[in-house]
Amino acid sequence: MEVPKDQMSTLLDNGLFDSAQMLGCFLVSSAGANIEASPSLKAEYLVLQGDALFGEKEFRRALNMYKQALQHCKSIPRQATSNSRNSLSTSSRSSSPNSLSVSTINDNEVKFKITLCHCSLNEHRAALVEMEGIPLKARTLRMNLTLGKLYRVSRNNRASIACYKDCLRHCPYILEAVTALAELGVSSKEILLLFSQRYVEAQCCIASNDYKGGLDIFSELLQRFPNNVHILLETAKVEAIIGRNDEAIMNFEKVRFVDPYVLTYMDEYAMLLKSKSDPSKLNKLVHDMLHIDSGRPEIFVALSALWERKDERRALSFAEKSLRTDDRHIAGYIMKGNLCMSLNRPDTAVTAFRGAQELRADLRSYQGLVRAYLALSKSKEALFTAREAMKVMHQSAKALKLVGDVHASNSSGREKARKFYESALRLEPGFLGAALALADLHVVEGRNKEAVSLLERYLRDWADDSLHVKLAQVFAATNMLSDALSHYQAALRINPQNEAAKKGLERLEKQMKGMDPDAPEEEEEIEAEDAEGDQEDTELL
């Protein structure tokens, strides 16, 4: 059977990898590909077969083919290899694993294909060794970008920055290089020398935890480029990080309206829907994501969010699967840390939150670490972490509240906690988290009237279900049951899925009937009802 190699190339160019790899078996084993007679031809056939296997996602087999091809390249006369190197710029096919020029073999191109195989197999060290074997002058734009990513994974930030800068010198519109440089701490002034755009300033603001500055610039960009999916996603992600959940949800919904097939940051959206107790929207989101691509780390985090209310251990397994899929997926670490806290495993939670911090320290990882350290009775570590957050995030009410939380955990630090909470509210008057924490502090110290006054003052400006729940709890604790009842009902009118309001109302109704809300028989009935609800949710999913 005669197998023209140009037919193999046609199959690869058209993405017909299954047929290409079957045809490649004939090419590689053909009499014309005799090693002694024509090592160059044998190497070409092996590379083509490797391209087909890469396209089929058989990365280990593709790696083997490319390595064999390199071995045969070594036996090609020096003049021939020199000519092949010079053919790089005239090659009609690109440097992706599926597009090597078939007329000649370029050993640097083959090394890059080997690198991509190692990257696909999460063998970053081996990939880096291969990339460093490609001479500097022979590296293409894509090679430099890949090398920058590999240096960053290996925590060689200086070399990573050099690679990303080199990319921008050749093409100033590589936005992922801009974002990476900002996250690596390069100043906006320095990046603007390579890429003069407001987008750079926004990314540098966010990387330095100046979230307000970044959001202001993104808002300006959205006025010029309405419905820009990338800017909407970046805006929503930052809003989710700093706790502006309603705005983040609104922007994620805009993205889904403009492009319903986007998966980027959709796990962040799923976590927001979970925190808002909106199971119907969360179910719909996860259902849609599964039909788009069931192998992305975002889908496993979203599944974790979906299962958290019903089965925390199963939810944890999904969070861990997201990290096995991509060990640099920050949302996976945050989700895992929060679940470990719910499962009373604070030591494991510390490891998860630290994993998120190593990739990119943001408010959520600081908050998680503080909670975990307090659960482990490590007050010094908690205070150090909270103060670090306050230094990193200048003028952040959230960071001030975090320091207050640490002081509030100790009876001797409650006065300090009060000052931090009040400072947070002066800095950001609409920060309900600090208002709720201050109300809790008032209750703990027996100042119930101050707690009620504070919460009622905030309710005049913010119709928030969490404020109503907190006020109901204060009234219930002081035996003002009718007032507590009205506020639980108000919370459920705002958010019918508020679990704290549901449980509080259930307990309150039993108290008003003279029943013991903590009776064991009642708990068993509640568990039975929850089990029925779980079955309904599973059927819906």
Report the interhelical angle of 481-494 vs 499-512 (nearest 10°). 150
Q: Considering the domain boundaries, does residue 524 fall inside one?
A: no
Q: Are residues 134 and 237 in the same domain?
A: no
Rounded to 5 degrees, φ, ψ at 109 are -65, -40
Alpha-carbon distance of 68 to 118, in angstroms, equals 15
Identify the domain boundary among 144, 167, 195: 195
Q: Based on the domain organization, do 157 and 219 belong to the same domain?
A: no
The 10 Å CB-count burial string (b at 16+, else e) for 223-258 is eeeeebeebbbbbbbbbbbbbbeebbbebbebbbee
| Residue 483 belongs to some domain of the structure | no
Type of residue numbered 326: D
pLDDT at residue 370 in the model = 96
pTM: 0.73
225 is a domain residue: yes
pLDDT at 77: 60
Phi and psi, residue 130, nearest 5°: -65, -45
Q: Over its length of 541 residues, how does the chain's per-residue pLDDT go in tens digits?
A: 566 778 888 999 999 999 988 888 888 877 555 555 577 788 888 999 999 999 999 999 999 999 998 888 776 665 444 444 444 333 434 444 544 433 467 889 999 999 999 999 989 999 999 999 999 889 999 999 999 999 999 989 999 999 999 998 888 888 899 889 988 888 888 887 776 578 888 888 888 888 889 999 999 999 988 889 999 999 999 999 888 888 999 999 999 999 999 999 999 999 999 988 788 899 999 999 999 988 899 999 999 999 998 899 999 999 999 999 999 999 999 999 999 999 999 999 999 999 999 988 888 999 999 999 999 999 999 999 999 998 888 778 999 999 999 999 988 999 999 999 999 999 988 888 999 999 999 999 989 899 999 999 998 888 888 899 999 999 888 888 888 899 989 988 988 888 888 888 888 888 787 777 766 654 444 444 454 544 444 443 4
What is the SS3 assignment for 390?
Answer: helix
What b-and-e string marks burial along 3-36, b requiring 16 or more CB atoms within 10 Å of the CB?
bebeebbebbeeeebeebbebbeebbebeebeee
In the block, which residue shows the tokens 């009642």? 522
Full residue range of the structural domain in which residue 159 is found = 5-74+106-195
Amino acid 188: pLDDT: 82
pLDDT value for 133: 93
Distance CA 500, CA 476 (A): 13
| Shared domain check, 226 and 157 | no
Residues 51 and 144 in one domain: yes
Are 293 and 184 in a shared domain? Answer: no
Q: Look up the CATH number of the domain holding residue 318.
A: 1.25.40.10
- Domain assignment present for residue 446? The answer is no
Same domain, 161 and 289: no
End residue of a domain, out of 307, 329, 360:
360
Tokens (6 digits) for 397: 């009410």
For 455, the enclosing helix (H) or strand (E) is: helix 448-461
- Are residues 230 and 274 both part of a single domain? no
Question: Does 233 lie in the same domain as 155?
Answer: no
Q: Residues 467, 454: contact at Cβ < 8 Å?
A: no
Q: What is the model's pLDDT at position 526?
A: 45
Q: Are residues 31 and 122 in the same domain?
A: yes
How many structural domains compose the chain?
3
Residue 406 resides in a domain: no
Indicate the helix (H) or strand (E) that contains 269. helix 266-275
Contacts of 278 (CB under 8 A, 6+ apart): 497
Exposure string of 58-85, with b = 16+ CB inside 10 Å and e = fewer, is bbebbbbbbbbbbebbeebeeeebeebb
Query: CA torsion sign, 353 to 357 to 362 to 366?
Result: positive
Query: How many distinct helices (H) and strands (E) make up the chain?
Result: 31, 0
Regarding whether 186 and 50 lie in a shared domain, the answer is yes
Are 238 and 282 within one domain?
no
Same domain for 166 and 231, yes or no, is no
pLDDT reported for residue 499 = 84
Residues 6 or more apart whose CB falls under 8 angstroms from that of 320 comprise 332, 336
CA distances from 467 to 153, 243, 400, 426 (A): 43, 16, 20, 18
DSSP assignment letter at 14: T
Q: Is residue 277 part of a domain?
A: yes
Sign, Cα dihedral of 26, 28, 34, 37: positive
Domain for residue 165, yes or no? yes
Picking from 360, 392, 426, the residue at the C-terminal end of a domain is 360
Residue 58 covered by a domain: yes
Amino acid letter for position 179: T
